[in-house]
Amino acid sequence: MIPIGSHPVWHPVMETLAYASGFAVYRWQRARQGDIVDEPQRWTVLAAAAVGALVGSRALGVAEHWPTVQQAWQAGRLWELLLSPGGKTIVGGLLGGWLAVELVKKLSGIKRRTGDLFALPLCVGIAVGRVGCLLAGLADDTYGKPTALPWAVNLGDGIGRHPVQVYEILFLIALGFLVSVKARLPEGARFRIFMGGYLAWRLAIDFLKPQPLIDGLNLIQWSCVAGILLLVLDEIRLWKGIHARAAG
Amino acid sequence: MRERLVDRIPFAKIMLVLAAALILSLGSCGLSFYFASAPLRDASSALALIGLVGFLGSLAGLVLTCLAWVILAIVGASGQKVSQPQNLFDKEDDTKHDKDK
């Protein structure tokens, strides 16, 4: 069993580093590859992504703690719902950010697929953030189920657990290489690979987390299912468009 | 041509910064809730205050910036339509008129 000297203060520290590193990678990538949209449009997309991610991550984070929310609501302690319970969820942030960008693109008439530049920065940002989740230990709700495997981690309670955060970091490194492959891919493909890959990963890895289940899956897994369905529908719509253009 | 107010103010950048501040302050508020039950009460109250000020400030800023952006975009769009120069006579009519001469 590997002991982890966990403390919750690591979470906001690493979270800040995650945003900073993700943004740095985005800027480096944009400077190296260029952009398919002009600067004001890119900033609009970035702002939509940030606000959508904020709302989505918090909404799913609160929804995960629904009984506590109900109690606070019934007791009239509504202000508590702003700050507590629960934190933010990555899946909620990704889905919220994606939907917000699509909405803003529709409103402002941006037709290009703008997500490719976000794929690698998201891999880097989430991986850095997951270090914070691991070091925050049991105070963070992302720890794994007990296991007797030799690489089990002890987060302070003396129980060996799956280091699910480390599994995810390793997966994100692989996904990061995949989305930065130099092959010529259609516009938006890298982002769709990232989203599909990450949502499928979370759908699988969350079986190793002790979370309350609804019909066999936890709330984050159900959100992953919804996100994958949206991606599939988007892919079908794209193929239909390509075939219609080819036929026309 | 004079640039519109909505184009001069970097609303997207402001919103991005405020959203990041809100996300981070939300994290520190959660942390202070945790510390409240630990022996670090003094540190937790200072952190809670900073977190709360950051949270309320960035939340209010985000809402106000969003409102200002939408209002100025609407006003700017309608103002642009009104201030467009109007052609009193069609070019076709002008040429026709010239031919008649």
* A58 against A164, higher pLDDT: A164
Of the listed ranges A1-5, A33-37, A226-230, B36-40, the one predicted with least confidence: B36-40
Q: How many domains is chain B built from?
A: 1
CA distance A242 to chain B (A): 33
Q: Over 50: is that where the pLDDT of A34 sits?
A: yes
* A44 touches B: beta carbon within 8 Å: yes
- Per-residue pLDDT, averaged over A152-179, amounts to 95
CA distance A54 to chain B (A): 6
The parent domain of residue B90 ranges over 5-100
Q: How is residue A227 written in tokens?
A: 């996100």
Q: Over 80: is that where the pLDDT of A116 sits?
A: yes
Alpha-carbon B26 to chain mean position = 20
DSSP symbol at B85: P
- The owner of tokens 């940002």 is A125
| pLDDT for position A184 | 86
* A15 touches B: beta carbon within 8 Å: yes
- Per-residue pLDDT, averaged over A98-112, amounts to 92
Q: What is the mean pLDDT of chain B?
A: 72
- Percent of chain A residues past pLDDT 70, beyond the cut: 96
Distance CA A126, CA A138 (A): 19
Q: Over 50: is that where the pLDDT of A245 sits?
A: yes
Q: Which residues of B touch A82 (CB under 8 A)?
A: 55
Q: How many domains is chain A built from?
A: 1
Single pTM value for the model: 0.84
Confidence of residue A72 (pLDDT cuts 50, 70, 90): confident
| pLDDT for position B33 | 55
Query: Using one digit for the tens of pLDDT, what is the confidence trace for B49-95?
Result: 777 788 889 989 999 999 998 888 888 776 665 555 555 555 555 55
Q: What is the mean pLDDT of chain A?
A: 90
Q: Within 13 A of A192's CA, how many CA atoms are on the CB side?
A: 15
Q: Which of A31, A34, A54, A62 is nearest to A101 (CA)?
A: A54
| pLDDT for position B101 | 45
Q: Over 60: is that where the pLDDT of B1 sits?
A: no
- Percent of chain A residues past pLDDT 90, beyond the cut: 60
- Per-residue pLDDT, averaged over A63-69, amounts to 80
CA distance B92 to chain A (A): 33
The parent domain of residue A29 ranges over 2-247
* A16 touches B: beta carbon within 8 Å: yes
Closest residue in B to A54 (Cα–Cα): B23
Q: Which residues lie below 8 Å from residue B79, measured CB to CB, with a gap of 6+?
A: B4
Distance CA A186, CA A223 (A): 26
